[in-house]
Structure 1
């Protein structure tokens, strides 16, 4: 669950990448640029610092917090390893969490619950935007440094989406060596873009003089300063390199001679000056710089491992003291970074001067790295394929769980094919990544190869995982025959708990769709049983997402699912997907139990969570149909229409197969019938009749027949209606889950009463009342709305379950004075209300007209 502390699942992220860089003591004040930055941060969506390496972009930004301490800033420094959309998004949210711990709770919950967050990043960013909009009270800036280090188009598309919908209190600052492929022309046209480019970032002559003479006290002549300015063109890193060389020349004449030589050299000024700086260092320091250039960050432990020296802390202090292009990466100044341009130069020199040592240096770095992802990078750079494969195998499960599928796939592809063949788990991880990205064609052969390889080497645990994923693939591809076989095989093995839950629930739904009620009930019970005492959040999350209203109607389903939902709320995120699933399920359970106010409240909570998460039509449609049914049954037709309209919109969004729409069309058709909107009810019935196909649900014929019976009642074709409802009643007995739609037996009882056969009506109704009272499911009868009132009034006077019938009347808002009326041939009586209803029916009044007079 979310806390003010950084979430456990993001603590593996490199924390120094979300800390602002500390300004150097010798930084030259640049108030004109800081003012321009501040202006951009307060008036534009995006401030872009676009210039080649060495133009002081990071140095300038590092001075911003001190210059404007009241402006909150979040920071993210990118590197090449961030070329994974899921990883990029995790860093983005974590950077904002550091700025305001409470503001990104919903977006973090969503990010951690998605199996493939990279595929739904627009949704995550949308939720993040809403989090910021409602949780950040003040203007703030998010600084993203070195955007050029990532080249994945989807990352830029995500940033474009963020910029297009940026909350008004948020402002982005991006640094890059060249213009990123963002919608800059559109932002520029809207005056939403502040740009600082090479010409802006160059040192002016006065700034160069301030650095060289005022700060470093080199006492250069005006002519020397002009010569330097012309040769370096105000390039900050060139000036810094030059200052390092000049500070080692003791005489003014020597400095002038050096400047003159620089002015006439044809070499690239950086290479010339970097060589000068490097070659002027003591041999031990020079070697230290070359060897440590392979590190993304420098700290004493890593430097000790790479160089073999025990004085690495002192060496790092020397680098900082001599201004040798290192920047503190944390407030304690225990970790440093080389300037990117200088690091590239050092690595090039290392490859030229010590090529035979590069592999060993990467090996040492990898073995000392506390961050596994960086260790893998070093092993791959050293072409230590076997060791890299072993570490990838160890870390692969974590990356799968975190949704870093692109990163994991990139690592595996970097290994030679023979290494894949020798490591079945690499094949499995590649296949697992593929199916999570819905690439079934790639996933299946990889998982099959992995399964065979695991079996050949006797790795039962690996074979179990591969088999479980193959079964899931078959299920998701609707290859039901193959899925059934694979699920049976997988469940007989020792697969992980979350996989067992997924397969049990998958098979429960599979059996439900083909009428295998007994097996579906067993699988549901098994899934609930294995999680009953578990705190495994992944297994609980999986079970929550697989629950559905039809499963509740299975034998024993209601009590066990309700118990699970109540327990799961203490272990799962309060605002994520699993909570949406739980609240959606409780909406139906409360309704089924007759707790109508609780159902409406849970439904509102669920829809609000769905909205915060960017909308989940597959859950929204189930919630909407329950809420619409409740309001229609209570005669609140305008509100019911609102929810049924939502239901239809969501069905269109998810492009539901036509046969599957019948489960939603029937409640809509019944609501229209209750309202007396018969033409609309007939149109719904026509849609139900047309919605046939290979995926036709087992209870679809019952729903079509019941709907036909309702229309026949409306048309006073009572003989035909009786025949239809008798057929529907026979069908109902063969399929327990159909109970969620109400019972045709109740409608048959209503028809008997309308035919002036009250004894037959009671005979039909009594068993249903007994079942619902025993099971605690008044919602099964309640959903028939005003149509049920006459027979319920009859039962309230003459049934063995009179109190329960009275309770149902109360739920329907149809309680009132009951004055008996005799029932012919029995000596029993009907109330005046029932007599009035029968009188209205006899005059041809619509159900809507009857309902309006009843409630």
Structure 2
């Protein structure tokens, strides 16, 4: 399964070839480039046919010829009309710059499904990458932005422009004024606006157009009349000049009927003058968003499509050349709209057949889907969606997939197994396990009726995962039993291996956990495409530290590291393993890397929970209980409703362990009502073990050893058949402490011996992260009675002392600090009271660059003034 951004479409990212009859506009071009030097945004806004793209092409050519100038071009279309898709297109275009990404672009893209705060934070990674090359001047051209109307997409684009580094300027072409922060940038002198008044042709331009087209120039009076009748409209002048060549009379192109007249002109003057074969070619090809030889041949049936395209471009039709070599052309929007209308008038219903031909010839599923939908070929559209769904969901394309599904007729879509499966996957990606369960059940039943066994098993594996997450463990077990006798390929088996391991955690069945992890590693090694999401999205803390899991988790880590697509999640596994192993330096470094990712990608629920949870454990070990509790509290804020439904009490137990380690009886008592209440039928059995443990620990902290003993003994008994995730604690140490206090040293030694034996076997210190005062005293008192070899005990003591003595902080910056390293430098000097000029001199930056950094700092921190920014810095 490919979790990268979709492969680039070169034609979207190529600057269109200038038309041979394009009129140079040196004065307009020079003025625009001069004003753009200090701008965030250059907006070229005018109705269709005023030459927006032509001007942007000329601007791009001038910028590319400037030393240090880099130009990135994007031709937008209707398929870019959602936040994730828009930025997938931008990332594809920016790939040519080879930016120094701190996080793989696919992981950033997965966060950009909406305009949430998490998405805006993740966008900072793109902004930092763009600003990491101060010697460059990057021009990002977005042509035809009017195709993007999605509010979330435009809000994210607004954020990108507002926070853009000084090295970046956006050039936008649009028929309408986009709903961006234009007023703010206009007031700040950071917006250059070109309207139809700027693009209107004057007499000199009209004369130049005649020369470019090889026409004998009409008199100045005739041209002035034409300019008056068209209001300098470039498309209108092209038409009028073409008609004047034949001496035809001209209708008025002014007023509300202008477009109707224009269309008449297209029919009369452009289409009619083509030979009949070419007329059919352009009419049939109008169903294509882009014209290339392969697709045109499929749609028209002509074998010489390449030659025909070259001939069409040579006729100076309303076409843009996106790629000279293939070639790839695009009709002007107005011309394409006319041709589609004319096609329907001449041959009603034929467009659907042409769309079907185009879809069948498309090599990329995402380009085929709109054609299948337009053709009304629902089965083929759904098959294409199924083909691309995994890769699309992996990079956050949930909304796009759902939007396409909604275009299928409801009465056809609802009973269809593939549609239900895809809706289930979309719900799963949002942690909505209830909806996902219902959709997977519906798809499973439909696949079973149709005899589609592989698909039935795929739906069954996802259904079992939902049951497990929702606490329906018996039903999850039935799923595992059903699949046990099936001979599944490795790529499909991994999902059931993962379910087996998770079901083992939920039940406290260590043997099932080990068997599931081992099988998962074996099958994932054979099927790399199955690593996402079965390994990459695992909550590693639930497995790390359980007896025997160490080598298996190490193997899974190596599998993830061997696949660069999964690199974002590898730090979570690195950090958990280093922490549990008790390696202070590597554990701290791994946690820092994990926290940095969490700050950049707060929309990744699993990543955030892993980072914040592990941070709380680090802080607890260092004796910072208040900070540790604050970190674990943030975990609850991070949980989605679906996630919280299954796992909230698990993390309340993690909170309880912090109180236990700090020997805070009152804090632990406050959690008992939630942790000690009877488990519902849908909650995980391990919670029974946890409830007995925390009640016994609380009694022990109060000094009520008589009450603590039966509770802890019961917890140990439950633990033997229902092992807790290691981060929740271990009942055997607390029982040993209780028994020692009651004057039963031999029994206490036996309980402690089990803990030490596991620590030696797994070479891990996690089980020894108990209250340090109690642990050391108990260990010293029981040492002569312990069966654990003295040398092994001494090694554990040395490692534990080094681990607990390491007082280095686990955070290099505040958790909510979104600033880049350069912005922090600017803020530090600003907080000292230095002016922009002094900051520029100290950091060897231009004054303009400093101003942009200060503006970005205020934007990122949601502050209104330099004074507030200085106060923020001093609070750090």
In the alignment, which residue of structure 2 is the partner of 1:663?
Answer: 653
Equivalents in 1 of 2:188, 2:492: separation in Å? 50
In the alignment, which residue of structure 1 is the partner of 2:791?
Answer: 803
1:606 maps to 2:601: no
Equivalents in 2 of 1:752, 1:382: separation in Å? 77
State the shift of 1:808 in Å: 3.1
State the shift of 1:224 in Å: 0.8
Q: 2:543 aligns with which of 551, 554, 562?
A: 551
Equivalents in 1 of 2:536, 2:251: separation in Å? 75
**What SS does the aligned partner of 2:223 have?**
helix
State the shift of 1:366 in Å: 3.4
**What SS does the aligned partner of 1:600 have?**
helix
Change over 3 Å in CA distance of 1:463–1:231 after alignment to 2: same
The worse-fitting range, judged by mean Cα deviation, of 457-466 and 233-242 is 457-466
1:347 maps to 2:340: yes
Equivalents in 1 of 2:438, 2:764: separation in Å? 48
Superimposed CA distance per residue, residues 349-394 of structure 1 (whole angstroms, 9 cap, x where no aligned partner):
2222343654444444334333444444334434455655665565
Equivalents in 2 of 1:174, 1:94: separation in Å? 17
1:68 maps to 2:63: yes
In the alignment, which residue of structure 2 is the partner of 1:79?
Answer: 77
In the alignment, which residue of structure 1 is the partner of 2:177?
Answer: 179
Equivalents in 2 of 1:793, 1:265: separation in Å? 95
Change over 3 Å in CA distance of 1:87–1:240 after alignment to 2: same
**What SS does the aligned partner of 1:565 have?**
helix
In the alignment, which residue of structure 2 is the partner of 1:326?
Answer: 319
State the shift of 1:53 in Å: 0.8
State the shift of 1:231 in Å: 0.7
1:597 maps to 2:585: yes
**What SS does the aligned partner of 2:193 have?**
strand
State the shift of 1:18 in Å: 1.9
Equivalents in 2 of 1:468, 1:763: separation in Å? 42
State the shift of 1:335 in Å: 1.2
In the alignment, which residue of structure 2 is the partner of 1:228?
Answer: 226
Query: Larger C-alpha radius of gyration, 1 or 2?
Result: 1
In the alignment, which residue of structure 1 is the partner of 2:636?
Answer: 651
State the shift of 1:805 in Å: 2.6
Superimposed CA distance per residue, residues 21-70 of structure 1 (whole angstroms, 9 cap, x where no aligned partner):
22223322223443454356443333322221111111111111221223
User: Conserved in 2, the CA contact under 8 Å of 1:505 and 1:523?
Assistant: yes
Q: 1:108 aligns with which of 105, 110, 117?
A: 105
Q: 1:779 aligns with which of 749, 752, 766?
A: 766
Equivalents in 1 of 2:726, 2:403: separation in Å? 50
In the alignment, which residue of structure 1 is the partner of 2:822?
Answer: none
Q: Which segments of 5 or more consecutive residues in structure 2 lack a partner in the other structure?
A: 804-876
State the shift of 1:144 in Å: 1.9
Superimposed CA distance per residue, residues 411-436 of structure 1 (whole angstroms, 9 cap, x where no aligned partner):
45444567558964345445544554
**What SS does the aligned partner of 1:545 have?**
coil
Change over 3 Å in CA distance of 1:604–1:496 after alignment to 2: farther
Q: Which segments of 5 or more consecutive residues in structure 1 lack a partner in the other structure?
A: 2-6, 816-855
User: Conserved in 2, the CA contact under 8 Å of 1:399 and 1:408?
Assistant: yes
Q: Give the alignment's TM-score, normalised by structure 2.
A: 0.78
User: Conserved in 1, the CA contact under 8 Å of 2:142 and 2:171?
Assistant: yes
Q: 1:196 aligns with which of 194, 197, 206?
A: 194
State the shift of 1:519 in Å: 4.0
State the shift of 1:664 in Å: 1.9
State the shift of 1:183 in Å: 4.2
Change over 3 Å in CA distance of 1:183–1:709 after alignment to 2: same
User: Conserved in 1, the CA contact under 8 Å of 2:495 and 2:534?
Assistant: yes
Change over 3 Å in CA distance of 1:798–1:474 after alignment to 2: closer
Change over 3 Å in CA distance of 1:582–1:445 after alignment to 2: closer
Equivalents in 2 of 1:735, 1:552: separation in Å? 16
Equivalents in 2 of 1:517, 1:725: separation in Å? 20
Equivalents in 2 of 1:599, 1:619: separation in Å? 17
**What SS does the aligned partner of 1:552 have?**
coil
Q: Any residues of structure 2 matched to 1:214-613 within 5 Å, and which?
A: 216-246=214-244, 248-249=245-246, 254=247, 258=249, 268=259, 269-274=261-266, 275-332=268-325, 334-355=327-348, 357-384=350-377, 388=381, 399=392, 404-416=397-409, 420=413, 424-433=417-426, 435-436=428-429, 447-490=440-483, 492-493=485-486, 497=490, 500-531=493-524, 533-539=525-531, 541-573=533-565, 575-576=567-568, 578-583=569-574, 587-613=575-601
The worse-fitting range, judged by mean Cα deviation, of 310-319 and 756-765 is 756-765
User: Conserved in 2, the CA contact under 8 Å of 1:750 and 1:790?
Assistant: no
User: Conserved in 2, the CA contact under 8 Å of 1:238 and 1:273?
Assistant: no
Superimposed CA distance per residue, residues 113-161 of structure 1 (whole angstroms, 9 cap, x where no aligned partner):
x5x9636986455334224314343342322222222433332233234
Change over 3 Å in CA distance of 1:40–1:666 after alignment to 2: farther
Equivalents in 2 of 1:426, 1:629: separation in Å? 43
Equivalents in 2 of 1:496, 1:86: separation in Å? 33
Superimposed CA distance per residue, residues 304-351 of structure 1 (whole angstroms, 9 cap, x where no aligned partner):
333333443333222222211111112426111111111112222222
**What SS does the aligned partner of 1:461 have?**
helix
Equivalents in 2 of 1:125, 1:265: separation in Å? 42
Q: 2:127 aligns with which of 127, 132, 149?
A: 132
User: Conserved in 2, the CA contact under 8 Å of 1:537 and 1:571?
Assistant: no
In the alignment, which residue of structure 1 is the partner of 2:11?
Answer: 16
Equivalents in 2 of 1:212, 1:11: separation in Å? 43
State the shift of 1:780 in Å: 1.9
Superimposed CA distance per residue, residues 87-129 of structure 1 (whole angstroms, 9 cap, x where no aligned partner):
333212111112x2244462523157x5x96369864553342
**What SS does the aligned partner of 1:76 have?**
strand
**What SS does the aligned partner of 1:63 have?**
helix
Q: 1:637 aligns with which of 602, 605, 623?
A: 623
**What SS does the aligned partner of 1:456 have?**
helix
State the shift of 1:529 in Å: 4.0
User: Conserved in 2, the CA contact under 8 Å of 1:228 and 1:259?
Assistant: no
Change over 3 Å in CA distance of 1:41–1:133 after alignment to 2: farther
User: Conserved in 1, the CA contact under 8 Å of 2:464 and 2:499?
Assistant: no
Q: Give the alignment's TM-score, normalised by structure 1.
A: 0.80
User: Conserved in 2, the CA contact under 8 Å of 1:789 and 1:809?
Assistant: no
Identify the structure with bigger relative contact order (alpha carbons < 8 Å, sequence gap 6+): 2
In the alignment, which residue of structure 2 is the partner of 1:55?
Answer: 50
The worse-fitting range, judged by mean Cα deviation, of 613-622 and 349-358 is 613-622
Change over 3 Å in CA distance of 1:94–1:560 after alignment to 2: same
**What SS does the aligned partner of 1:298 have?**
coil
Change over 3 Å in CA distance of 1:521–1:646 after alignment to 2: same
1:44 maps to 2:39: yes
1:700 maps to 2:698: no
Q: Any residues of structure 2 matched to 1:678-757 within 5 Å, and which?
A: 681-693=665-677, 694=680, 695=683, 697-713=687-703, 732-737=719-724, 740=727, 743=730, 745-746=732-733
Superimposed CA distance per residue, residues 205-235 of structure 1 (whole angstroms, 9 cap, x where no aligned partner):
3322332357645322111111011011011
Equivalents in 2 of 1:470, 1:764: separation in Å? 40
Superimposed CA distance per residue, residues 245-283 of structure 1 (whole angstroms, 9 cap, x where no aligned partner):
33x34xxxx4xx746988999764523542323333344
Equivalents in 2 of 1:40, 1:84: separation in Å? 31
Superimposed CA distance per residue, residues 189-218 of structure 1 (whole angstroms, 9 cap, x where no aligned partner):
555433222222222333223323576453
